[in-house]
Structure 1
């Protein structure tokens, strides 16, 4: 006989459910509104959206050129408008330049494209040190940038958000656009990581 054990929910999950129930019970939030918010964060915003932009730029030279020349306009071609994606600048990593995104004043962040910012991005330590000692910060993320590579730090604000276009890893020439998007991480689009070569099999086209 096989027994099925369910992993207990975390304290955070239980607290979220309790707060959700309380807000609905007091009539502060409608259940339909909560469903809309959940659907938005599951399907309409998040790092998978940014990954689609990156993968498109990797496989479509024309789109990449437009993305670097006028990021907001190029992103809108994919139907991605509104939220914090309205004023975007995409900066490209190359063998000679590595880009890093920060917001020194608070935590301005293209959440429509990358989802909610990670805790470390909002921390004072990251916001201050990323500008002063970016190489050391990158090392702490496990990313050693050679001295001959220039590190550029871009400071987001309420009017302008940045996104890193990472280098396409070698050995991914046979991957589809969807497979490439699956490789792109949120940290790579902030600049605290590089995209690693494929560990997934290319999609099979019937």
Structure 2
């Protein structure tokens, strides 16, 4: 792959391309100019790698599946129940949890931008922020879900929830059959990020 003289002065990971390479260059420039503290950057990256993300949400779901009292609390006051488990922070201050049942399948979108519950799901996937998803899932949710591989039976209603700056949603998927007696850790392993958005069954 050809490089000009500027590129030859820098060693880059061959996997870094496009936007990732530009982000790294901006980060290096901001650090060099003293605008960003590298230790602060490392702390932020570590937070998103270890303190937040879908594994947190999976732990919430697993507890709801195995603890009826916690499930009742989670559905009545999602913010408090999630905070009780230690998952708090920016973009997770006001949470509502909606439960999938045989009668209803829930799916979450943010039609205006990309409001998303970071403490329990991490950063939003690219498709969640895309204009196509944000516009289409409201108009034709069954078609969009089918593109994710989810076929909703005709007798099951699809409920679309629109996240905002004031409130964010988390889907409580239906517990998988045959998981009775599993530990919370084993239950959490069933749960996916998409399941908690509603674009997967679990």
TM normalised by structure 2 equals 0.89
In structure 2, the residue matched to 1:138 is 145
Aligned ranges 1:1-206 → 2 under 5 Å = 8-11=14-17, 13-195=20-202
CA shift digits 1:54-92 (9 cap, x unpaired)? 111011111000000111111111122221211000000
Stretches of structure 2 lacking an aligned partner (at least 5 in a row): 1-12
TM normalised by structure 1 equals 0.87
CA shift digits 1:24-70 (9 cap, x unpaired)? 11111101101111111011111111111111101111100000011
SS in 2 for 1:83: coil
Count, aligned residues: 189
1:18 deviation in Å?
2.8
SS in 2 for 1:99: strand
1:175 deviation in Å?
2.0
Q: Distance in 1 between matches of 2:106 and 2:154?
A: 14
Q: Distance in 1 between matches of 2:47 and 2:16?
A: 23
With 27-36 and 78-87 compared, the bigger mean Cα shift is at: 78-87
